[in-house]
Amino acid sequence: MYIIIGGGGLIGKGITKKLSELKHDVVVIDIDSEACEDIYAKYGAITIQGNAAEIETLESAGIDRCDVAIGAMSNDPDNLSFSLLAKHFNVSQIVVRMKDPKYEEVYKTAGVNNIARGTQLLIDQIMVNIESPDLRKVISLGDIEICIFDIPENASCIGDTLAGVVSQEGFPRKCTITCIFDDSSNLFIIPRGDHVLNARDRIFLCGLIIDIQEAVRFFE
């Protein structure tokens, strides 16, 4: 994917490192030339010195072909401007770092729903949003995550029992389905092996994030 990151501070660097390791095409924009030089030297990502909240800078970064735009600057007004410009250029996925909770509704009004908070937790949450946009993190317990995923309408597992699904090749052995919200009955279910999976069931996946993402790919 072609990803533009607005902000090369602690958060921006952490995301750049992980995305570069995953071989994504990353462009980082920062007002500080030293931050740009450091990112390029450490991770080999393309860097642009400039204001990521200005349209000319984003155009020079290739915003018109961007798949994911990440607002990781140190203040919400800049991240909000960055998000609005990215939306103007029809970027399909926009993720922002939020510092002040008062901005949450403003971001949502602007059409930004991928909002992250904290440092390492924030980096991990942004990475989940990029790699698996349909996956929503609930809580982190050390290395273990609990995430929510809605089974798609066209999933091949629809109509299969839970025991049958988790025994299939491709479903990660270290990921468990701890709870299911049944959309048709509007009830939470502690699943047993004979539970039949339905479209739009909301499942709670527990495990390492890499195993959870593998489970999501299995369902998709």
Could you list the beta-strand ranges (E) of 101-164.
114-116, 136-141, 144-150
Asked whether 90 and 24 are in contact (CB, 8 A), the reply is no
Asked whether 194 and 208 are in contact (CB, 8 A), the reply is no
Cross-strand pairs, 206? 146, 176
Supply the pLDDT for residue 135: 63
Per-domain residue ranges of the chain: 2-131, 138-219
Supply the pLDDT for residue 133: 59
Supply the pLDDT for residue 32: 94
What CATH code is assigned to 2-131?
3.40.50.720
CATH of the structural domain 138-219, one choice from 3.40.50.720, 3.30.70.1450, 1.10.1740.10, 1.10.10.200? 3.30.70.1450
Q: What is the pLDDT along the chain (220 residues), one digit of tens a residue?
A: 999 999 998 889 888 988 998 899 999 999 999 999 999 999 999 999 999 999 999 999 999 999 999 999 989 999 999 999 999 999 989 989 888 888 989 998 888 878 876 544 455 555 556 555 566 666 666 678 888 888 888 888 888 998 998 888 889 988 988 888 876 776 788 888 888 888 888 888 898 888 888 888 888 7
